[in-house]
Amino acid sequence: MPRWAESSAAEQGQLTPDQINSWRQQGFALVHNLVPETLLRESAADAENAYPAPGSDAEANFDNFGSGQNFVFPSRSAACNRITLHPNLLGAVAALLDVEVGEIRLTQSDLWPKYGRPPAAHDLDNADQRIHCDYPNHTLTHPPAWEHPEAVEIIIYLSDFETCGGSTAVVPRQGPDDPAYGWPIINTPGVAGLNYVNDKDHAEAYLREQAPDVAAFREHHLYARECLARYRFGSVLLYRHDTWHRGTPVTHGALRLVHNLTFKKAGSEWINVLHPGWSWSMYRRNQFMEKLIAAASVEQRAVLGFPLPGSPYWNEQTLQAVKARYGAHGIDMTPYENAPPAAGT
Ligand SMILES: [Fe+2]
């Protein structure tokens, strides 16, 4: 019988102390009522219109891992973009990292489909993932000590587990001496000289051959302890770069939509943005991103890397120039104009 990780409700758009504690201690929290459901439904409808229907010819040729950079921020879906910068979501991330919203940075936002298909039986098949942590393809380094997290990983489910399966399995951390969470985290494919293999059966067969101790550790401490996230439409799984987890197969013939996001603390340049930079769309979607920047709040802009009021970037010249760039879209520069200059400038 599987073990379950159950979803709990956020309160008035904010994480509860228990949810924050769960993320900090166990490595994850599964919550609902964090982002307004009407907005999530809009985003899901946009995605359903954009992606092939399950069972269609187009679906058969569609990669089952990521959107192929086709639904990344800023996406064609206004709702998806609003979710990416939703104040409740940003507030939750800031609370988990114990920083101000202006001190977090977006590094991933992608809405993608996973189709329920028969197993493809090759190393890179994404249906039944090997258990892993997400840090290797987000950072050039290694997550710092558990007590000093730098990033929040997010899965927003735009489907329902009861109809499409495809739950995320997680291994709850049980205190500082938990053998599953020993240091450093290298007992996983793609790290420390081990090949990257995605498919669970292939990965574990490879490890039994190449690194039997690693395979045994994973069997006894990870797979044996995994819990399945019992998500519903709109559930948000908040986890970390050092949380053991994996995607499990979607029900055959079904479509699971998820919106993946990552936020990091400002200053951790070693954690990469996974997409083209946010400015890249400026010449590709006429005045779309300019309008988005002009309409965003000071905090939302900061999350995209725009300098905060008081940043050393701002002086009389830059204030005028940025106003000249975005003034036609109605940007309000007063928060930047009124902020005292940063120390030393
Ligand atoms: Fe992952």
136: pLDDT confidence band, cut at 50, 70 and 90?
very high
pLDDT of 11 over the 70 cut = yes
Q: Are 139 and 277 in contact (CB under 8 A)?
A: no
pLDDT of 344 over the 60 cut = no
CA–centroid distance, 134 to ligand 1, in Å, is: 5
* Burial of 291: CB neighbours in 10 Å, binned 0-12, 13-18, 19+: middle
CA–centroid distance, 239 to ligand 1, in Å, is: 10
Across the range 177-190, mean pLDDT stands at: 97
CA–centroid distance, 169 to ligand 1, in Å, is: 10
Per-residue pLDDT of 13-37, as tens digits, reads 999 999 999 999 999 999 999 999 9
- Tell me which amino acid residue 167 is: S
CA–centroid distance, 176 to ligand 1, in Å, is: 22
For each of the domains in the chain, give its residue range(s) and CATH number, in order of start.
3-186+226-275 (2.60.120.620), 282-345 (no CATH)
Enumerate the H helices of the chain as residue ranges.
Answer: 17-25, 37-50, 57-60, 78-84, 87-97, 161-164, 200-210, 212-217, 288-295, 298-303, 316-326, 334-338
CA–centroid distance, 156 to ligand 1, in Å, is: 13
CA–centroid distance, 157 to ligand 1, in Å, is: 14
Q: What is the pTM of this model?
A: 0.96
Q: Whole-angstrom Cα distance, residue 252 to residue 265?
A: 39
CA–centroid distance, 330 to ligand 1, in Å, is: 40
CA–centroid distance, 45 to ligand 1, in Å, is: 25
CA–centroid distance, 286 to ligand 1, in Å, is: 34
Can you give the pLDDT at residue 215? 98
CA–centroid distance, 247 to ligand 1, in Å, is: 7
Q: How many residues does the chain have?
A: 345
Q: Which two tokens stand for residue 11?
A: 């309160």
Q: Whole-angstrom Cα distance, residue 217 to residue 182?
A: 11
CA–centroid distance, 220 to ligand 1, in Å, is: 20
pLDDT of 137 over the 70 cut = yes
DSSP codes of every residue in 50-119: HSPPTTSHHHHTS-SSS-TTSSBSS-S-HHHHHHHT-HHHHHHHHHHHTS-GGGEEEEEEEEEEEE----
CA–centroid distance, 335 to ligand 1, in Å, is: 38
CA–centroid distance, 292 to ligand 1, in Å, is: 29
Please tell me whether the peptide bond between 74 and the residue prior to it is cis, using omega within 30 degrees of 0.
yes
Count other C-beta atoms under 10 Å from residue 140's C-beta.
Answer: 10
CA–centroid distance, 302 to ligand 1, in Å, is: 26
Per-residue pLDDT of 266-317, as tens digits, reads 999 999 999 999 999 998 888 999 999 999 999 999 999 999 999 999 999 9
CA–centroid distance, 18 to ligand 1, in Å, is: 24
CA–centroid distance, 154 to ligand 1, in Å, is: 10
pLDDT of 343 over the 60 cut = no
- 30 three-state secondary structure: strand
How close are the terminal C-alpha atoms of the chain, in Å? 62
Can you give the pLDDT at residue 203? 96
pLDDT of 247 over the 60 cut = yes
Can you give the pLDDT at residue 63? 80
